[in-house]
Chains A and B, each alone.
Chain A
Amino acid sequence: EADIYQTPRYLVIGTGKKITLECSQTMGHDKMYWYQQDPGMELHLIHYSYGVNSTEKGDLSSESTVSRIRTEHFPLTLESARPSHTSQYLCASSRNYGYTFGSGTRLTVV
């Protein structure tokens, strides 16, 4: 049974739309992360948070934004989706070491 949940699993959306990808965890982890992954490529860290009201940008530049108002919730928002945003987005959380990943959101922008 998953302890970290991502919704939606799949999303096809038109260019210019605003979207929010949801991520919630029930493990009480302070640290949460968003990774972006394209097929055959490494996972790239785009955002992370070490606790409530703490967010940082990752190694890969991203036009998305995140918020961390509650420990268990770490949503990612794209204000204006573009085809270049088509990718898989993976949310993860951690207490000390190692990550627990959600199932991911496969985003397609047409």
Chain B
Amino acid sequence: DQQVKQNSPSLSVQEGRISILNCDYTNSMFDYFLWYKKYPAEGPTFLISISSIKDKNEDGRFTVFLNKSAKHLSLHIVPSQPGDSAVYFCAASGTRDDKIIFGKGTRLHILP
């Protein structure tokens, strides 16, 4: 039973436009959420995180929004660049130093 769900296996976005990646979770005990980016044949790299006490966290072109009542978070990338083409994993943990549960990932294609 998946606790972290990414229902879109893939997403294509025009270069320069906004990319929005969505994630839902089922465990109300999660209080820390992360996004990782993964290129083929490489390990995931940390992108951005958000604590459950916040509803938004911004880092450059990347913004993560958290809606606790809906158990939903989203990652916004604006403007999208060719180097953003990768698989993005949504992840969550119960405490900041606990094990992390990952979703299946969304493959983002940035079109020229």
Contacts of A55 in B (CB 8 A): none
Minimum Cβ distance to chain A for residue B91 (Å): 8
Contact partner, B41, options A45, A48, A96, A106, Cβ 8 Å: A106
Which residues of chain B (81-112) have a CB below 8 Å from chain A? 89, 93, 96-97, 99-100, 102-105
* Chain A interface residue number, banded: 20 to 34
Number of A-B contacts (CB under 8 A): 54
Contacts of A100 in B (CB 8 A): 46
Minimum Cβ distance to chain B for residue A4 (Å): 8
**Considering residues A42, A91, A102, which has the most beta carbons from chain B within 10 angstroms of its beta carbon?**
A42
Contacts of A40 in B (CB 8 A): 9, 104-105
Contact at A9–B41, with CB atoms within 8 Å? yes
Is there a chain A Cβ closer than 8 Å to B59's Cβ?
no
Contact with B along A85-110 (1 / 0, CB 8 A): 00000111010111111111010000
Contacts of A97 in B (CB 8 A): 32, 49, 93, 96-97
Contacts of B41 in A (CB 8 A): 9, 103-104, 106
Minimum Cβ distance to chain A for residue B69 (Å): 24
The 9 closest A-B CB pairs, nearest first, are: A101-B43, A97-B96, A43-B102, A42-B104, A42-B102, A104-B43, A101-B44, A103-B43, A102-B43
Which B residues contact A (CB, under 8 angstroms)? 2, 4, 9, 32, 34, 36, 41-46, 49, 89, 93, 96-97, 99-100, 102-105
* With A42-B102, A100-B46 already in contact, 11 other A-B pairs whose C-beta atoms are closer than 8 Å: A42-B2, A42-B105, A43-B44, A43-B102, A45-B99, A92-B43, A97-B96, A98-B100, A103-B43, A104-B42, A106-B41
